[in-house]
Copies of this chain bind each other. A is one copy, B any other.
Amino acid sequence: MAELCKLPGIGRRSAERLIFHVLKAPADEVDRLARSLDDTKSGVRHCDVCYNLSERSRCRICEDPERDRSRVLVVEQPRDLIAIEQTGQYRGLYHVLMGRLSPLDGIGPDELTVDALLDRVRDPSKQPGGVGVEEIVLGLNPTLEGDGTALYVKERLDELGSGVTVTRLARGLPSGGSLEMMNKAVLADALAGRRTL
């Protein structure tokens, strides 16, 4: 039960319920569950290029010749990538940093995949199809740590002197929200980033 409690969202009560289910279930069903967990762990790896989750050495996005390979969107985690893919509005490639700079948690630049990103920009042969990177879109979380990480990545890219365009996702009012419910930081961003119609 201690093992189950380590899972996210599973407390003592849920763990008990799961155990009683396992005890009542037929042995072969339990076996299949255990095997599928093992397979997931051993079968899923990170893409050699972008660090997305993948079952092969390159993920299906890096392998897709229809994607715009001159554009790379940088995210913190594979689940951010999934959220952006679900919009259907982005046709470029990705780069997963595998976290964000967080000095308090002891996460520095060496824990992230920034060097691999710089390699992709510096050397087109590291890119799918050998296509040179023209735009890096920073898609980190709109938080203090995300902003700090974006700044760090931007600085490293500038040092490279590659002339790649660095953009970041727009900050402002979230579509569907209501002005009076927004906090000051959101409204200040919305004011500062206002655009001519």
Binding site for B on A (CB under 8 A): 75-77, 79-80, 82-84, 86-90, 137-143, 150, 154, 165-180, 182-197
Q: Which residue of B lies closest to A147 (CB)?
A: B175
- Copies of chain A in the complex: 2
CA distance A113 to B170 in the complex (A): 31
Contacts of A190 in B (CB 8 A): 139, 169-171
> Top 10 closest A-B pairs, CB basis?
A170-B172, A170-B193, A169-B190, A175-B185, A172-B172, A142-B173, A80-B179, A167-B194, A174-B174, A174-B186
Contacts of A173 in B (CB 8 A): 142, 169-172, 174
Contacts of A193 in B (CB 8 A): 169-170, 172, 193, 195
